[in-house]
Amino acid sequence: MTNNILIIVCLFCMSNIWAQPDQITVIGKGQRDIEPSTRLLSSPKILDSIQNSSVPYYPILFFQAPTKITLDTIEAATVETSSEKLKKLYPFYAKAGIGSALMPLGELYFNSTRSRAYHYGCHTQHLSAFQTKISKQNVDYLTANFDRTNVSLYGNILQNTYQLKGKFNYANEGFRYYGARKTIDTLINYADSSNKQRFQSIGGELTFEGMNGDSSAFNYAINTRYNYFFTKPYKADSLDKWNSREHSAGFNFRGWYRYLNETFYGDLSVRFNGFRHGIADSALSALDSSLMTNNTVIDIAPGVLTQMFDNRLKVEVGAKLSFDIYSKTRVYLYPKVEIKYSMFNDIFIPYVGINGELKQNSFRRFSELNPFIQIVQDSLRNENNLFNFYGGIKGTLSKRISFNAVASFGRHIGMGLFVNDSVKINTFKVVYDTVSIMKVEGSLSYQLDEKLKIDGIGRFYSYQTNNNAYAWNLPQLQFVLRGNYNLFKKFYFQLDSDLEFGRRALVYDSTMSGVSMEEGQYIVNLKPVLDFNLQTEYRYNSRVSAFLQLNNVASVRYNRFFNYPVQGFQLLGGITARF
């Protein structure tokens, strides 16, 4: 209401206002100057406060792929700037000692000193025992005296394009078939000459390797070897052929060529073994007849190794063709496949594979596994390892701890097993069987620089045989523990231990204690192997030291084979010198 009253008052006042008159007259007096006119020379133009921006110019674009360079961290190399000279090398190392059971020990090494092209040397060793009376459970066994002598000569020539290596070996081992009880086995107790045996082996090998480059070059290696193995001959001239003699020879050629990520290779090998005992088609006695065997194996094995993903994945694929030439020729084909993959910079490396081989059995090989085998009365059959499938994982848990776990399963046709002879029970013979073996193995290693190193291995075996109740003398469970400890670089300690469980032996006397019958065979369980050996060494200086070795510390007289108990606690000590 108030606003309306104000509007009416304003309109009323405005109607009474007088406007300015139309004409106004001004009267004045003065002089007015007019400036001369000038001509504008510039043309008129529009002045605008907004400035136009210049049109930008872009060149023709081109595509460039992004690149990335990653450099691995490499520790800087250290260069020793000390003015000290290189440590002097001494060519000779000698070790001498004496032990319980009148056990002398002698060992000598000779090596060439520093040389870029030549390396040669020799090694000789002798160990014997002359007072080895063994008693177990108030039963005396035959004397277990023995002597072992080994001589090895070797030499290497290393040049830019080739390498030549040679080796010569001689071994002489004498021992007794002491696994007979004096109070029971009277028939063989006094025949001391029949309880002695001596094995001798002489042979050598030569290897030539051509080195033409690491990549895009063909490299090859040629190896030849020969060995003559024989037992002691009889004194009578008419019986000079009635000892065991074996000639073994071999030739192997291997070539490989690497191109980019693949390595192609091929092997060609020939193995010959000829065994002789006595005169052909004759017999020395009802228990000793002649045996002549010739066996040749030819192997051809091509393959390729592929590496991918910065060498983290490795795949090897190949095969082996073997010709077993004996009374008749047999041909076997074996696979060879292995796949490995490195994870987390080699922390875990899983792997899986399958392979097989034809293992050539020989009298020398059997005697190394069991020296108490007297003569081979059966043909030396080769062992056909039809396949062996394995898989596992290995790696490192830290910079000091490494591990390996693997499981395998294989089938072995013609596998040799040791059993006591039924007539002369202190000797062994070989029986052949088809054996399927499953093995689970785990190992763990710890190393602290050069101060401490410990290795532990555990193995579990499961055997399935065709013709025998068990795989004789083979363990079902095995543990191996090894260790080295360095104290102030003055005292060195070394531990070696072997534990085996679940071994069984074939016997022929059902009245013996602990004998059971399975599948028509008499079986006895062998007690566990508990073998602990400890060695300590005190180094007076870098050239002279003293050592003390304790064997079978637990003094357990376990049976290495049936009726063959080992010696109890043994002590061996001596000195070493470098000169």
Higher-scoring residue by pLDDT: 80, 348: 348
pLDDT tens for 532-575 read 999 999 999 989 999 999 999 988 888 889 888 888 889 999 99
Strand positions, DSSP E, 421-451 = 428-448
Of 90-104, 271-285, 433-447, the range with the lowest mean pLDDT is: 271-285
Q: Are 466 and 433 in contact (CB under 8 A)?
A: yes
- 40-60 average pLDDT score: 62
pLDDT tier at 190, thresholds 50, 70, 90: very low
pLDDT of residue 188: 46
The pairing of beta strand 477-487 with beta strand 92-99:
unpaired
Q: Is the pLDDT of residue 468 over 70?
A: yes
- Checking if the pLDDT of 112 tops 80, the result is yes
Residue 434 has pLDDT above 60, yes or no: yes
pLDDT for 412 equals 96
The percent of residues above 70 in pLDDT, for the chain, comes to 84
| 11 has pLDDT over 60 | no
Query: How far apart, in whole angstroms, are the C-alpha atoms of residue 470 and residue 449?
Result: 44
Report, as an integer, the average pLDDT of 359-375.
Answer: 90
What is the mean pLDDT of the segment spanning 190-216?
84
Mean pLDDT lowest for which of 164-168, 343-347, 492-496?
A: 343-347
pLDDT digits (tens, 9 = 90+) for 169-187: 999 999 988 887 765 554 4
pLDDT, tens only, 234-279: 777 777 788 889 999 999 999 999 998 999 999 999 999 999 888 8
Q: Where are the beta strands (DSSP E) in 326-377?
A: 329-341, 348-359
Please give the single-letter amino acid code of residue 261. N
Residue 498 has pLDDT above 80, yes or no: yes
pTM, rounded to two decimals? 0.79
> If you average pLDDT over residues 199-211, what whole number do you get?
95
Q: Is residue 192's pLDDT more than 50? A: yes
What is residue 239's three-state secondary structure?
Answer: helix
Quickly state the pLDDT bin for 327 (edges 50, 70, 90).
confident
Alpha-carbon gap, residue 105 to 107, rounded angstroms: 7
Q: Is 423 helix (H, G, I), strand (E, B) or coil?
A: coil
As a whole number of angstroms, the distance between CA 264 and CA 258 comes to: 6
> Taking residues 492-519, what's their average pLDDT?
90
**Secondary structure element (H or E) that encloses residue 540, with its range:** none
32-62 exposure pattern, b = at least 16 Cβ within 10 A, e = fewer = eeeeeeeeeeeeeeeeeeeeeeeeeeeeeee
| 8-12, 365-369, 534-538: the lowest-pLDDT one | 8-12
The mean of the pLDDT values for the chain is 86
Report the 10 Å Cβ neighbour count for 417: 21
Average pLDDT (138-166) is: 90
Q: What tokens appear for 335 in the block?
A: 């696979």
**pLDDT exceeding 90 applies to what percent of the chain?**
56
CA distances from 92 to 107, 541, 577 (A): 11, 16, 8
Q: What average pLDDT does the segment 495-515 reach?
A: 90
Range name among 11-25, 168-182, 226-240 with the lowest pLDDT average: 11-25
12 in helix, strand or coil?
helix
pLDDT for 547 equals 95
What is the enclosing helix (H) or strand (E) of 195? none
Q: How many CB atoms lie within 10 A of CB 306?
A: 15
Task: Report the pLDDT value the prediction gives residue 109, as an integer from 0 to 100.
Answer: 95
pLDDT at position 202 is 97
Please report the pLDDT score of residue 473 as a whole number.
Answer: 93
Whether 189 shows a pLDDT value over 50: the answer reads: no
Checking DSSP bridges between strand 291-308 and strand 262-277, what pairing results, if any?
antiparallel
Q: Would you state the structure tokens that stand for residue 107, as one six-digit string?
A: 């060992």
Token readout for 330 is 């047999």
